[in-house]
Chains A and B, each alone.
Chain A
Amino acid sequence: MSRLKWQAVVAGVGGQGVLFVSRALASAVEHKAGAILISEVHGMAQRGGAVVSHLKAGPFSGPLVSQGQADLVLALDPGEAVRNLGYLLPKGWLVVNAPDLDFLSPKAKKALASFGARVLTVPATALAGQAGTAKGANVVLLGAAAAAGALPVRPGELERAICQGQPPARARANRELLALGAQAAAEV
């Protein structure tokens, strides 16, 4: 079996749970990739600044993704999606926490459309808010990404990676958030 070689960029703002997402993705794909490298941001940027985390799963040496190489750009904030579009592979996935692509200027929209990447927009904050926990937007977005096939693992594998070892109440809440995301992806 050939090992998975997969790169992702997770972007957002301090406090949105960017690092949780990249660690969850890492443990979900670890068994397929063997080696895992992640790059995180700590310190001053966590005070409301832009937070970005790179994940490289497979035979890589360094933890930073090159521009134009990410199989997935997952953005918890639309503005941070714009800032990190340059990482996308032409056949990569852009998954963004937004109701639609209207956060892009007309010119940016056109550039994205002609680039060829696949796009999934999910109003994850609103959905998580309806479920009573706006902070769970990151898990909703992950659920949507898995259901849409933007991840190299099945939704069940992602769920196991997120919920294992969590207290039952927390795991149940996360399963609900993942399901909300999956439902949203199905409706797109």
Chain B
Amino acid sequence: MSPKAKIRKEILMGNQALGRGLVENGVAVMTAYPGTPSSEILPSVVHYGAEMQHPPYCEWSVNEKVAVEVALAAAYTGQRSAVAMKMVGLNVALDPVMSAAYIGVIGGMIIISADDPGPHSSQTEQDSRLLAHFAKLPVFDPDSPAMARDLVGPAFALSERFQIPVMIRPTLRVCHGRQNLNLREPKELERIPVFGRDPFRWAAIPKMRLALHHALNAKLTKIQDYVSKSKSLNQWHAPLRPRAPLGILASGMAAALARDVLDELGLPVAEGKVPFLQTAAPYPLPIGPVSELIAGCRNVLVLEETEPVLELLAPNRDRLWGRASGHVPSAGELTPEVLGEVLERALGQAKLKAPRPRGKVLTVPDQPPMRRPNLCPGCSHRAVFFSLRRALPTGIYPSDIGCYTLGMNQGAVDTCHDMGAAVTFASALSRGLNQGKDATPVVATIGDSTFFHSGTTGLINAVYNGARFVLVILDNETTSMTGMQPTPESGLTADGHPGQAVELKKLVEGCGVRWLTELDPYDMGGLQKTLKKAWRWCQGPEGSVAVIIARHACAAQRPADAVPSPRKVEVKGQAAPAKTSFRPKENPCADCGRCVAICPAGALRRTGKGKIKVDEAKCTGCRLCAAVCPTGTMALEPAGACTACGLCSTWFACPALARDAQGYISIDRGWCVDCGLCAEVCAQGAIAPLEEQK
């Protein structure tokens, strides 16, 4: 035994515990696509796998469908494999997952799909256990990092015994919970991969699939019997008692928190007043113990996240208190507060009095406003979004999933749906909005990792079908939101095995794109010109999809590369707001509408009689209109001092731009990274580099 592999105690995050569990159980192939709350699982397998003589093969796959297929084929060869993703990734992977239940595996395979009740960092609150049920795959539901680790062994055992992939479904509180646990030694299985040719199984045609479906159903019956008899998967925290008015059936994090809340209510499970059955295997339902609980109690409260699974599968549903009966909320996380209310109500209805009502809670008025997440100071995405609004102010901006969704703070994100939808939405929207004389510019933004994940198919579709829009690929050379995982462009692989960089430019060209340029978005002037040029080309006779690759280092991952030449800026002073006014006598208005389009406050409108009308109440005095006026009708000079116009805080939205109660801006040195971009943003010339001010 190497000294490194000695048994030791560590405080592990749930995702690390899962990674540890996989290494302790001989995983040989591990794949994943990053997504909160699952992202740390694969790096933990890499980390702990280094303790093994033959570390597992690990890869960041390009997307979840690919990840599942790679892990699945490895399991065909008898190796133990695992794949990790967030629950929306399971949707992407559902196609191979569905078939995997029919065809099964040889080596054990675990599909980890991390759910996000809340949701805290996701688009939906979907319950992966329902998809496991839908796909006819057994699923385990851990309540803690320790249980997550401890379920890996039984999951592999079940998977190999019944030749079927097994899902482990941790929720965010398990993934991002931490717990101290004793590490066990890594297991070296040293299985040689063998592919046993069997086209009737691995390449089954529909007729054989029917036979496989019958076989799957028979397997599930046996698995149900197996999980039903398992003592470790079904824990009686409080045993059945005669004529119990209320019992609790629970699974996952809700089971753990409910035990703590019962303790706070003065009804600790150890005292056994309320029979409490927790199952770690919600599907197939452990019918034995569950039926026993329901038969032995007048009513049974079902606590699980996020959808009813136990509740729908259990017998005697008329005696269950859960989502159908309205006892448990049908949306949102089951926090201790929610569980407290649910339990108090159920106990009351069952005529069981909680000895201790829930504690006194300090409630104070005047709560601070919600703190919105924001792009980091110095982030080049911010420069792209500002330039977008500046160059094509009347545009529609479909965007995508990643850090850059936060471009919403700058009013430059109009849609955010699922991975890759920026491209497909742009293609559909541009078709509708391109009609007529005043075509609306459609400019989509998508990150590099998201583009590799699901952007190319939409792009090929758009080019092939003749869509016309501008696509900006925000290439910061990493997967930043989920923790800086490498992208195919880097050529770096998850565990350091040799890989090869995939060039983004060639990939885009390969999708049939004929107008393509690469630039650094820190040059905001150049980017604005390029955006306008790209949109003009889209509208021209030869126009199609124009792609701009905006490449700049991630400010969080490589701060020195993101701000290679720091420029310290300062606000030059304050001036009274000056409202826009027109002087059309000397310089008649051309009625071009540029000022109307650019006005961030929506204070200008065309009268239709060759005039522009100003809504004095809305005008903030930012003077952007004067900056774009080609005739000099608005001959306003920049104030040279901050007029509290709010342009930088609304269109640039940098956390380093602090706004006081009157709206005047100052630089918050705690945040500022001296990127100097805001000096170009300010329409008043009020923010300027210090050296220029001297």
Interface-forming stretch among A79-87, A143-151, A179-187? A79-87
- Selected from A14, A66, A80, A105, the residue in CB contact (under 8 A) with B337 is A66
**CB proximity to B under 8 Å, residues A13-59:** 13-14, 23, 26-27, 30, 35-50, 56
In the complex, the answer to whether A44 meets B359 with C-beta atoms within 8 Å is no
In the complex, the answer to whether B37 meets A43 with C-beta atoms within 8 Å is yes
* B242 interface hit (Cβ, 8 Å): no
- Selected from A48, A62, A89, the residue in CB contact (under 8 A) with B260 is A62
In the complex, the answer to whether A85 meets B176 with C-beta atoms within 8 Å is no
In the complex, the answer to whether A86 meets B361 with C-beta atoms within 8 Å is yes
List chain A residues, Cβ under 8 A from B482. 43
- Selected from A41, A90, A107, the residue in CB contact (under 8 A) with B176 is A41
What is the number of residues of chain B that contact chain A, defined by CB distance less than 8 Å? 53
Please name the residue on chain B nearest to A111 by beta carbon.
B364
**CB proximity to A under 8 Å, residues B251-282:** 253, 255-257, 259-261, 264
Would you call the interface of chain B mostly helix, strand, loop, or mixed? Answer: loop
Please report the number of residue pairs spanning A and B whose Cβ atoms sit closer than 8 angstroms. 166
A-B contact pairs, 30 of them (CB 8 A): A23-B178, A36-B179, A37-B144, A41-B120, A42-B37, A42-B40, A43-B120, A44-B406, A46-B373, A47-B373, A47-B403, A49-B372, A49-B374, A61-B259, A62-B144, A62-B253, A62-B259, A63-B173, A63-B177, A66-B336, A66-B340, A66-B359, A67-B336, A68-B360, A85-B364, A90-B359, A111-B363, A111-B364, A111-B365, A115-B362
In the complex, the answer to whether A45 meets B253 with C-beta atoms within 8 Å is no
In the complex, the answer to whether B365 meets A108 with C-beta atoms within 8 Å is yes
In the complex, the answer to whether B36 meets A64 with C-beta atoms within 8 Å is no
Question: Which residues on A are within 8 Å of B, measured CB to CB?
Answer: 13-14, 23, 26-27, 30, 35-50, 56, 60-69, 79-80, 82-83, 85-86, 88-90, 104-105, 107-108, 111-112, 115, 117, 134
List chain B residues, Cβ under 8 A from A56. 260
In the complex, the answer to whether B362 meets A65 with C-beta atoms within 8 Å is no
**CB proximity to A under 8 Å, residues B187-218:** none
Question: Which residues on B are within 8 Å of A, measured CB to CB?
Answer: 11, 13, 36-37, 39-40, 120-121, 143-144, 173, 176-180, 253, 255-257, 259-261, 264, 335-337, 340, 358-368, 370-376, 403, 406, 481-483, 655, 670
- Selected from A48, A65, A83, the residue in CB contact (under 8 A) with B367 is A83
In the complex, the answer to whether A27 meets B375 with C-beta atoms within 8 Å is no
Please name the residue on chain B nearest to A13 by beta carbon.
B371
Query: Cα distance A33–B403 when bound, in Å?
Result: 39
In the complex, the answer to whether A107 meets B364 with C-beta atoms within 8 Å is yes
Question: Given A36-B178, A48-B655, A67-B361, do A61 and B373 touch, yes or no (CB 8 Å)?
Answer: no
Please name the residue on chain B nearest to A55 by beta carbon.
B178
List chain A residues, Cβ under 8 A from B37. 42-43
In the complex, the answer to whether B361 meets A44 with C-beta atoms within 8 Å is no
Q: Determine how close the nearest CB of chain B comes to the CB of A174; give it in whole angstroms.
A: 19
Q: Determine how close the nearest CB of chain B comes to the CB of A38; give it in whole angstroms.
A: 4
In the complex, the answer to whether B481 meets A43 with C-beta atoms within 8 Å is yes
List chain A residues, Cβ under 8 A from B670. 134
Q: Determine how close the nearest CB of chain B comes to the CB of A100; give it in whole angstroms.
A: 16
Query: Cα distance A60–B370 when bound, in Å?
Result: 30
Query: Cα distance A167–B482 when bound, in Å?
Result: 28
In the complex, the answer to whether B481 meets A36 with C-beta atoms within 8 Å is no
In the complex, the answer to whether B373 meets A44 with C-beta atoms within 8 Å is yes
List chain B residues, Cβ under 8 A from A112. 362, 364
- Selected from A23, A40, A79, the residue in CB contact (under 8 A) with B177 is A40
Query: Cα distance A63–B364 when bound, in Å?
Result: 25
Query: Cα distance A80–B367 when bound, in Å?
Result: 9
Q: A40-B176, A50-B371, A62-B336 are in contact. List 16 more A-B contacts (CB 8 A).
A: A27-B11, A37-B144, A40-B177, A41-B176, A43-B36, A48-B374, A49-B371, A49-B374, A65-B336, A69-B359, A82-B366, A82-B368, A83-B368, A88-B362, A111-B365, A115-B360
